[in-house]
Chain A
Amino acid sequence: MKAVFLIILSLFYFSGLSQGNDINQLEEVHVYSYFSPSYQVGYSITILTDSILKSENSNLSQLLKKQISAYIKEQGSGMTASISMRGSGASHTAVYWNGIPINSSLNGQTDFNTVFTSHYNRISIRKGGGSVLLGSGAIGGAINLENELQYINKTKAFLFGSIGSYDSYSTAAFVNHSTKKAALQVGFNGLSSENNYPYSNTEIVNENGEIMNYSVLLNTGFKLNNKHNLYLKTLFNNSDRNTSGTLYTTNNANLDYTNQSILLGWVHKNTKSQGEFKTAYLKEDYKYTFNKNIPDIFSDNGSKKWYTNYGFYYNLNSKIILHTAANYEILKGEGTEIEESSRQKLSFLSSLHHTLSEKLQYNFNIRKEWSSVYKIPFVFSFDTKQQWYKNHATSFNFSTNYRIPTLNDLYWQPGGNPDLIPEKSWSSELGYEWNYKASKFCINAFKSHSTDMIQWKPETAMYWKPVNIQSVTISGLEFSFKNSIIMNHHKFTGHIHYSYTISKDDETQKQLIYVPNHMGGLLLSYTNEKWYVEFDEQYNGSVYTSTSNTKSIDDYWLSSISVKRNLFNKKLSVGMDINNIFDVDYQIIASRPMPKQNLTLLINYKF
């Protein structure tokens, strides 16, 4: 890893300094999409583009904590991480890679610490229920990781290297080359860390926490003519991590997770319509070695998924867009704990996007899905946005949603329960938005109710079994305020957000464990021709660790600062991040202390 890092680093010296154009923020293209705020009008959608994604070599956990104050549950620093969006569970945020669902078929989650964000041009975060358009699992929200191919005759590159505390090295390279007819993207990302930070007030260090993640992408597209283009996107991702111990236990295990995704797409456009055909093959493998020193005793489970989708948009007139899509999926799972199993799914959806007036738009969507294993409910959703005079707008959405059981839920030995049915949920949201020049203020109130939620319960003294048992009611409020001020060459931006969430089990009336009531964040930045300075403050409210709400982990404030010096016309920047500047002792999961103050030195080259 160090060698790779040094090679990348040396690239900085040999790179020409002459090429033009700063890397641009992708212009906001108004294409109908499930993640487009222009069309999904009743939803809160945050879009992060290159200027943010290509400034650091972050993983999805770090990015979302900073940008949207997401609650990320990490099993120790750098270990398996999942999100709780709007008070929902780890498998209730559906993650997509270029529109293809990539949540693990085995455990229903994406490990947010293994997703490198500089791979992508655009990351969209859509909050609230979205199963009608997005399918299973989009209950609390959905995230799309997108590589957009543009045919604009330009070469852009991004090179990044960093050295940090605890022997951490990270490197990233991303090259985007395109002509009017063809486009190519190549990306590499690597991270290695000893991750052996000390636990405060003890003599213990974070043992067995070593991390080695890397990821390679290759995307290519061809514009056949003005109407047709073809693309191929591929991603290989490997995360080889030891699983760290805790304050009171040691661990020797290793988790080696690999996924591969290949997507072939064809887009055809007419003046009034657009169709897109996608077919993808996704493979994932989790290999868990109980003791890294005894490599021949392990648990190894994986899945393969063939996913095919065709979506069609038709502009009936200037006010109405009709959309319909069909989706077919074959899934196979196999491993040491999962007997060979397969299931198939077929779904259809239809959608109406209607612009009643310049100020009022709505969507109405329906979906029906069939599975070879269980009955999936018919779902529908409605959302609307009304623009009022002088920069005020209100929005509303209501949706019914579902999540199908995972392969682990169904087939894990011991315990897997083939009689499980999908979880069901409804969710609704009311929003208000105020825009004035560079200021934006939003407030959203949301409520949802989920039933038949799958929980693993002790079946005998020897094993647990999942059952459709829990129902949960979630309600909450979130607000965000953004502003930026430009004075001559000085630009100041500020973004503050806060959310209050109640997520209660209907039976016990207790808050769910590891779902905080309060989350908040403040992100301030200053930039001029030569300098970029950013201050980030995150507040994580206390979380309960026992279902009776008698035990909890303390809340904490986490501050970090990032200073970068721009050189050579902003092409090169060197900088330093100080994380946890006030040396706060905190835990996300009980008995797993997180790193105290730590440092990263970084160098970043863009052209």
Chain B
Amino acid sequence: MKILKIISLLFIIIVLTTSCEDETEQEVSDLGLVKTAVVNDLNSDGFVQVGETITYTFKVTNTGDNTISQIVINDDRIAVQDLSLNPSELTPSASASISVDYTITSSDLTDESITNQATVSGVDDEGVVITDLSDNDSNYADNETITTLDIVPYANGIFILNEGNYGSGNASITFVKNDFSSIEQEVFKTVNSDVLGDTAQSIYLTDDRAYIVVNGSNKIEVVNRYTMEQVVTIEGASINNPRYMVVHNGIGYISNWGDAADPNDDFISIIDLATNSVTGIIPVEVGPEKMEVIGDKVYVAMIGAWNTNNKILVIDTTSNTVVSNIDLGDNPNSMIVDGNYLYVVSGGISYPISDETAGRIDKIDISTNTVTATWNFNATEHPYHLTHDGSSFYYSLNGGVYKWDGIVALPISPENGLDGFYYGMITKDGLLYALDAGDYQSEGTLKIFDLSSNTQTQSITTGIIPNGVVFN
């Protein structure tokens, strides 16, 4: 019993003396770093876009017993290097915060999140460097910060417009991510629980919207280009057999063929995009098709609808009147602006055989609106789908894709490896996006070719009768 008392006493003495030693002899230098991240939805659309920012706030607390000075913060992931805290000296228990804005990049959106950890460092009064890794809410834990980016569903990818069969109401839109990690069919229907409509002819993108021209249904579906959510439907008597759309200064121009039977009722509708209402129409000759905005003019290729036509009309957007027309080959079907010139492919009349005319390409000087050069095809050749990849022109003819420099004579033979009867095609960044409608009664295919080697790199199933691609 006595022994037990002695041991207990001894234990108490040891404990007391030890704690006394700590209190009196050891002073600690320590820092705590808490990092918080707030995503700034600058356009208030509920999603993160490239160019929007994340505000990171670093709160540094002196958790030790000594004053710490020369406090700096580093966070490589968001390019924060030796950021000085203000004030850069903290007495024990004191704290200070500093914020930085990080601008979101496209690769961040691809990753769909940002993971980072900052380091704070300072020097105590004895010259010892003190550091701490950041945490989300604690001065003592060290967890990385993971900021999930609420990305828009339909950014960083392409929309494929699928025209569908006339009368069947099966037009649709396919979305493909740029890295091909996902392919989503019928996105309009998925988001809006409604059918897109009948015979979707074309799609035009503005900053935040997509205008889908639904030819058979005589309407323009206006959607948020990143969410596909329907904003409004533009329809009425001034949208009749609509084909294509362009936008200049907040005003939309839509080419319309009018009634199938009437070659004299074709027009361009003028839409105020602020109100999505038709503010007027410009009556034109038969068959206005694709358009290009150049300066304050709209160049309209007159393909001729169910008849034939052979010119470009130039509309002055300040007066909304036709100020000039430029005679070309028959049925101009596609055009490309290259510097001060507009290149136009006219398909020629492919039927009836007795009236067949040759296709041709015209080069128009935009400053004078005159044709400065013409390249003629053979009598039975009908080219389509002129596109430009930044250095060369490409067009489609008789199941081949031809490459042309825009200067010398037209090529004699098509490019090896690119063959196909494409319903639409476009080049971008060294790639050819070619749309194969197959048998026109089932899913088509988007074929992507690398133009440096003319090899096919992707084959993507689309909806029915894909006719165009836009890059979102």
Residues of A within 8 A of B (CB): 246-250, 252, 289-291, 294, 297-298, 413-415, 457-458, 460-463, 513, 545-548, 550-551, 589-592
B314-373 CB contacts (< 8 Å) to partner A: 333, 347, 350-353
Selected contact of A249 from candidates B167, B333, B440, B441, CB within 8 Å: B167
On chain A, the residues within 8 Å of B439 by CB distance are 457, 547
Known: A248-B216, A249-B216, A546-B442. A590 touches B169 (CB 8 A): yes
- What's the minimum C-beta distance from A328 to chain B, rounded to whole angstroms? 32
Whether the pair A248, B197 counts as a contact (CB closer than 8 A) is: yes
On chain B, the residues within 8 Å of A415 by CB distance are 351
On chain B, the residues within 8 Å of A546 by CB distance are 441-443, 464
- What's the minimum C-beta distance from A551 to chain B, rounded to whole angstroms? 7
Q: Please report the C-alpha to C-alpha distance between residue A340 and residue B168 in the assembled complex, in whole angstroms.
A: 33
Whether the pair B197, A291 counts as a contact (CB closer than 8 A) is: no
Q: Mark B406-423, 1 if CB is under 8 A from A, else 0.
A: 000000000000000101
Selected contact of A289 from candidates B261, B352, B442, CB within 8 Å: B261
On chain B, the residues within 8 Å of A413 by CB distance are 351-353
Whether the pair B350, A591 counts as a contact (CB closer than 8 A) is: no
Q: Please report the C-alpha to C-alpha distance between residue A289 and residue B262 in the assembled complex, in whole angstroms.
A: 11
B247-275 CB contacts (< 8 Å) to partner A: 259-262
Whether the pair B441, A513 counts as a contact (CB closer than 8 A) is: yes
Check B310 for interface membership: any CB of A closer than 8 A.
no
Whether the pair A462, B350 counts as a contact (CB closer than 8 A) is: yes
On chain A, the residues within 8 Å of B217 by CB distance are 248-249
Selected contact of A414 from candidates B216, B262, B351, B384, CB within 8 Å: B351
**A-B pairs with lowest CB-CB distance, top 7:** A414-B351, A290-B261, A548-B442, A248-B169, A591-B169, A248-B198, A291-B261
Q: Please report the C-alpha to C-alpha distance between residue A327 and residue B370 in the assembled complex, in whole angstroms.
A: 65
Selected contact of B421 from candidates A290, A458, A547, A548, CB within 8 Å: A458
Q: Please report the C-alpha to C-alpha distance between residue A550 and residue B195 in the assembled complex, in whole angstroms.
A: 17
Q: Please report the C-alpha to C-alpha distance between residue A60 and residue B326 in the assembled complex, in whole angstroms.
A: 56
B419-441 CB contacts (< 8 Å) to partner A: 421, 423, 437, 439-441
Whether the pair A297, B262 counts as a contact (CB closer than 8 A) is: yes
Q: Please report the C-alpha to C-alpha distance between residue A545 and residue B347 in the assembled complex, in whole angstroms.
A: 32
Residues of B within 8 A of A (CB): 166-170, 195, 197-199, 216-218, 259-262, 333, 347, 350-353, 382, 384, 421, 423, 437, 439-443, 464
Known: A248-B197, A290-B259. A545 touches B350 (CB 8 A): no
On chain B, the residues within 8 Å of A463 by CB distance are 350-351
On chain B, the residues within 8 Å of A246 by CB distance are 167-169, 198
On chain A, the residues within 8 Å of B262 by CB distance are 291, 294, 297
On chain A, the residues within 8 Å of B421 by CB distance are 458
On chain A, the residues within 8 Å of B464 by CB distance are 546, 551
On chain A, the residues within 8 Å of B442 by CB distance are 546-548, 550
Whether the pair A461, B384 counts as a contact (CB closer than 8 A) is: yes
Q: Please report the C-alpha to C-alpha distance between residue A545 and residue B168 in the assembled complex, in whole angstroms.
A: 9
On chain A, the residues within 8 Å of B197 by CB distance are 248
Interchain Cβ contacts under 8 Å between A and B, 6 examples: A248-B216, A249-B198, A414-B350, A457-B439, A458-B440, A461-B384
On chain B, the residues within 8 Å of A547 by CB distance are 439, 441-442
Whether the pair B261, A591 counts as a contact (CB closer than 8 A) is: no
- What's the minimum C-beta distance from B400 to chain A, rounded to whole angstroms? 13
Q: Please report the C-alpha to C-alpha distance between residue A329 and residue B226 in the assembled complex, in whole angstroms.
A: 64
Known: A247-B169, A461-B384. A591 touches B351 (CB 8 A): no
Whether the pair B168, A460 counts as a contact (CB closer than 8 A) is: no
Q: Please report the C-alpha to C-alpha distance between residue A290 and residue B169 in the assembled complex, in whole angstroms.
A: 20
Q: Please report the C-alpha to C-alpha distance between residue A592 and residue B347 in the assembled complex, in whole angstroms.
A: 35
On chain A, the residues within 8 Å of B169 by CB distance are 246-249, 590-591
Whether the pair A461, B423 counts as a contact (CB closer than 8 A) is: yes
On chain B, the residues within 8 Å of A247 by CB distance are 169, 195
Q: Please report the C-alpha to C-alpha distance between residue A252 and residue B262 in the assembled complex, in whole angstroms.
A: 12
A464's nearest neighbour on chain B, judged by CB, is B440
Selected contact of A462 from candidates B198, B261, B382, CB within 8 Å: B382
- What's the minimum C-beta distance from A269 to chain B, rounded to whole angstroms? 53
- What's the minimum C-beta distance from A292 to chain B, rounded to whole angstroms? 9
On chain B, the residues within 8 Å of A513 by CB distance are 441
- What's the minimum C-beta distance from A588 to chain B, rounded to whole angstroms? 13
